[in-house]
Chain A
Amino acid sequence: DAGITQSPRHKVTETGTPVTLRCHQTENHRYMYWYRQDPGHGLRLIHYSYGVKDTDKGEVSDGYSVSRSKTEDFLLTLESATSSQTSVYFCATWSGDGYTFGSGTRLTVV
């Protein structure tokens, strides 16, 4: 996972509270992604970015927003966390040769 750092690694939050997850990369890759991983499902795309301030929705974007003010940082925000958003969240970058994933953030909404 060299070059991609996700923070925090673990978080427990209460229903209805806002939560922001951070992804930081040092490789200067243009494309960045947020995925969620749940048992029995493949990784599902939440949002992705193709440049600073350029973002687009993925297949499971409801309840999530993102921002990318710098090439190296991609933030995922849950405006009002719900129990259905309990999951493991992965950030990834695409270099053209392949994908690199972060180590994940385990989020529990109680």
Chain B
Amino acid sequence: KNQVEQSPQSLIILEGKNCTLQCNYTVSPFSNLRWYKQDTGRGPVSLTIMTFSENTKSNGRYTATLDADTKQSSLHITASQLSDSASYICVVSGQGNDYKLSFGAGTTVTVRA
């Protein structure tokens, strides 16, 4: 059973609008959570990383939140741009296994003009 579940599977938004992606995980004990952006035909690229003690982390128009108690994370994209069209992947690692990751299946975001 996948230990990282993402929703929605895909979404379409208009340029300039905001959206929020969800990630629920069961990895325990928890070490950190990363959000990656994967453009079509490319490998994933890291957006943010949060440890147990961090609630929010921003990277430009991307803001990630983490609730370690409920094992939930979200990625908020503000004022979306066409270049935000990509797959966004939630990745979790457990304590003592920082070199082995559990990947969500990703949320595909399409931004339309």
Contact = CB atoms under 8 A, between A and B. Distances in A.
Contacts of B45: 101
B31 interface: no
Contacts, number: 47
B89 to A, nearest CB: 7
A57 B98 CA distance: 16
B44 interface: yes
A101 B44 contact: yes
A interface: dominant SS: strand
A101 B103 contact: no
Contact of A98 (B2, B4, B46, B105): B46
Contacts of B99: 31, 48, 50, 94
A103 B43 contact: yes
A48 B100 contact: yes
Contacts of A92: 43
Contacts of A31: 99
A41 B45 CA distance: 18
A1 B43 contact: yes
B100 A104 contact: no
A104 B98 CA distance: 22
Nearest to B39: A103
Interface of A: 1, 4, 31, 35, 40-45, 48, 50, 90, 92, 94, 98-99, 101-104
7 contacts: A42-B104, A43-B101, A45-B101, A48-B99, A99-B101, A101-B44, A101-B45
